[in-house]
Chain A
């Protein structure tokens, strides 16, 4: 079984400031890791994913995340946020057995303050 913990349910950040959204996972097997973004009343869009290789992965809209196996973390970062980044962000995990089932965290609502 696997699980995902997003400790911060809400994160307010001033415009142009950096942000880090935290994600920790638990799994007894190797995993794939994902960050999705959801704008109000819309579906989810993939921001970035870690499958293998370099532990620093870059995604769309200037976001990046670092896979840390020893700390079982996959934190999402952006050096300078914009008003348009206001959304809910979900971390998700899948086992790497070719089964595409995802387990999601509870989400972090990012609010950008002008």
Chain B
């Protein structure tokens, strides 16, 4: 069964701790994305990566870091520098092919609560 896996579904951390959210895809997609969702604000892009070992900042990258060591994996670390980390985090992936638009597929999300 192909798809995107995010784990865990719920995550609790104490303030000041770094935490890493997992995102794995077996769709053989080139690009991967991390979004943050807050009530009434829609989804905002944190980071994206179009190729292994390369990634770009999105609109709200401050306080976050990512890595892309493997095509199928794109973990997101929420650092202690992120001032308001409690949110719902969504990972997505898509193919990249010249001249054509490719749909983004979304994972089930991880709800992070910082106490």
Q: Which residues of A contact B (CB under 8 A)?
A: 4, 6, 9, 32, 36, 41-46, 49, 51, 90, 94, 96, 98, 100-102, 104-107
Contact = CB atoms under 8 A, between A and B. Distances in A.
Nearest to B56: A101
B43 A104 contact: yes
Interface in B91-115: 92, 94, 96, 98-104, 106-109, 111
Contacts of A98: 96, 98-101
Q: Which of A36, A43, A44, A102 has the most C-beta atoms of chain B within 10 angstroms of its own C-beta?
A: A43
Interface of B: 4, 9, 31, 33, 35, 40-45, 48, 58, 90, 92, 94, 96, 98-104, 106-109, 111
Contacts of A6: 42
Given A43-B90, A43-B109, A9 B45 contact: no
Nearest to A96: B101
A49 B41 CA distance: 22
A102 B107 contact: no
B35 to A, nearest CB: 8
B42 A45 contact: no
Contacts, number: 56
Contact of B103 (A4, A9, A46, A107): A46
A100 B43 contact: no
A103 to B, nearest CB: 8
B108 A42 contact: yes
B50 to A, nearest CB: 9
Contacts of A51: 101
- The residue among A45, A94, A101 with the most chain B CB atoms within 10 A of its own CB is A101
A49 B109 CA distance: 22
A43 B108 contact: yes
Contacts of A43: 4, 90, 106-109
Given A41-B9, A101-B58, A102-B45, 8 more contacts: A32-B101, A43-B106, A44-B90, A90-B43, A100-B102, A100-B104, A101-B33, A106-B42
